[in-house]
Amino acid sequence: MERITCMSLLLTAVVSSSARAPRQYHFVNQNLSWTEAQSYCREKYTDLFTISDIQEQNDIEQAIKRVNSNADRVWIGLKNTKVGFWSDPVFYTEQYRNWGSDQPGGDGDCVYMNCVNDHKGQWHDVDCNTTRHFICYNASKGFIIVQEQKNWTEAQKYCRESHTDLASVRNQSENEQIQKIIDQNKTSGDQDKRVWIGLHRLWVWSDNSTSTFTHWKPNNNNNNRETCTLIVISDEGQWTDEKCSEEHPFVCYDEKLVLVRENKTWTEALRRCRNMDMDLVSVDSEQMQQRVMNVTSSALSDHVWLGLRHSCTVGIWFWVNGQTVCYDQWASDYDIGLDECDQTVRSGAIRTHDNHWISLPETKEINFICIKYM
């Protein structure tokens, strides 16, 4: 099975403008819990603010300082989950746990299994930067120990490239199976008996943005409870997390969809949007799909261009905002014509009668949707 993880691509060679256009943010100087702040933003604007790079981080800091010099701790749209998701999407929500006593202790977002003699394969959470040996899962061979020191993210990358994924442990017998594999090596030291498994805590943006930018205060310890993220202005804008029920001011952002009811080729449409300081829309969540459906209902063509482009060389679809396609609404027959993609560049459009996406030759002239990150 082909596994493409959600990622950001560097597409400067393919699309002319790289970073997303600046969005308009609204600082709301009212103390609300994170969840209330989220509702407020969704009602009045689009969502709580998502920070995708250092530029946006600096902009937002400056904006808060300008508007109100007293506000110090300000919610943004990042929230964590409990430690509790497996790296392998197939076993994402498997519930078996084998925590050691007082674990998870909030020392980090990644989990290792302790196979040192008396520890019975118990689990501990720790900083994902720590380097350890690790256990991959290989769909045809089972668990595989990799005796190389890697941090959790790199271990995950290694397992996904060479096997299936970092190991998910689904019951006591699988836990013992791993312990046995580790015990087989009589010469390995205690340190090498603490191995990464695929469990980790996930941080998610309120709008499901896949941004991986972070700006944590060093040694920010995330406790094992649901927490939400604050920018601390007096601490150089570094991020810290806190109980989501605490009340703080917050930042929302706003963006707007514009259906252009003119028939253009995909490239003309992209240029047209960008000339108006907008971009062709990237539909990377169910929420965005809903909003797009809402505007396509008044289109004058049967299909409407999205910011979706096919790369024949790499053989993948990507959004003009630089993301690969993770969320999708492809029609079952969307890929007709792709085998000849070296002759005609294909782009993606939404079909107005059922709102599924299909691939069309980019020279077709149809309506399109621009998005303004206000």
Ligand X SMILES: *[C@@H]1O[C@H](CO)[C@@H](O)[C@H](O)[C@H]1NC(C)=O
Q: Which stretch binds ligand X (CB under 6 A): 76-84, 243-251, 279-287, 311-319?
A: 279-287
Q: Which of residues 209-248 bind ligand X (CB under 6 A)?
A: none
CA distance 246 to 75: 10
CB within 8 Å of 207: residues ≥ 6 apart: 46, 47, 48, 50, 77, 285, 287
DSSP code string of 35-62: HHHHHHHHHHSSEE----SHHHHHHHHH
Report, in Å, the least distance between residue 284 CB and ligand X: 9
Question: Does the protein bind ligand X through residue 316 (CB under 6 A)?
Answer: no
Single out the residue of 17, 18, 185, 298 in contact with ligand X (rule: CB under 6 A): 185
Report, in Å, the least distance between residue 170 CB and ligand X: 5
Single out the residue of 16, 17, 171, 245 in contact with ligand X (rule: CB under 6 A): 171
Q: Which stretch binds ligand X (CB under 6 A): 72-80, 150-158, 210-218, 265-273?
A: 150-158
Q: Which of residues 33-72 bind ligand X (CB under 6 A)?
A: none
Antiparallel, parallel or unpaired: β 303-311 and 366-372? parallel
Single out the residue of 12, 30, 147, 245 in contact with ligand X (rule: CB under 6 A): 147
Q: Are the C-beta atoms of residues 86 and 199 closer than 8 Å to each other?
A: yes
Report, in Å, the least distance between residue 314 CB and ligand X: 21
Query: Which residue lies nearer to ligand X by CB, 77 or 249?
Result: 77
Q: Which stretch binds ligand X (CB under 6 A): 55-63, 98-106, 194-202, 299-307?
A: 299-307
Per-residue contact track with ligand X, 123 to 142, x per CB under 6 A? -----xx--------xxxx-
Q: Which stretch binds ligand X (CB under 6 A): 12-20, 162-170, 272-280, 332-340?
A: 162-170
Assigned token pair, 46: 């689009």
DSSP code string of 185-229: -TT--GGGGEEEEEEE--EEETT--------BPTT----SS-EEE
Single out the residue of 290, 298, 315, 363 in contact with ligand X (rule: CB under 6 A): 290
Assigned token pair, 181: 């594999």
Query: Which residue lies nearer to ligand X by CB, 31 or 267?
Result: 267
Q: Which stretch binds ligand X (CB under 6 A): 8-16, 78-86, 148-156, 315-323?
A: 148-156
Report, in Å, the least distance between residue 263 CB and ligand X: 4
Report, in Å, the least distance between residue 222 CB and ligand X: 13
Phi-psi region of 34 (alpha: psi -120 to 50; beta: other; left: phi over 0): alpha
Report, in Å, the least distance between residue 165 CB and ligand X: 9
Single out the residue of 174, 255, 279, 362 in contact with ligand X (rule: CB under 6 A): 174
Nearest by Cα to 194 from 130, 287, 140, 253: 130
CA distance 247 to 263: 48
∠ CA 232-235-236, rounded to 5° = 95
Single out the residue of 8, 81, 285, 355 in contact with ligand X (rule: CB under 6 A): 285
Question: Does the protein bind ligand X through residue 291 (CB under 6 A)?
Answer: yes
H-run or E-run covering 370: strand 366-372
Assign 286 to helix, strand or coil.
helix
Single out the residue of 31, 68, 240, 301 in contact with ligand X (rule: CB under 6 A): 301
Question: Does the protein bind ligand X through residue 153 (CB under 6 A)?
Answer: yes
Nearest by Cα to 249 from 36, 84, 24: 36
Number of Cβ within 10 Å of residue 300's Cβ equals 12
Assigned token pair, 69: 């010099």
Q: Are the C-beta atoms of residues 156 and 87 closer than 8 Å to each other?
A: yes
Q: Rule CB under 6 A: which residues touch ligand X?
A: 128-129, 138-141, 147, 151, 153-154, 163-164, 170-171, 173-174, 185, 187-188, 192, 207-208, 263, 285-287, 290-291, 294, 300-302, 366
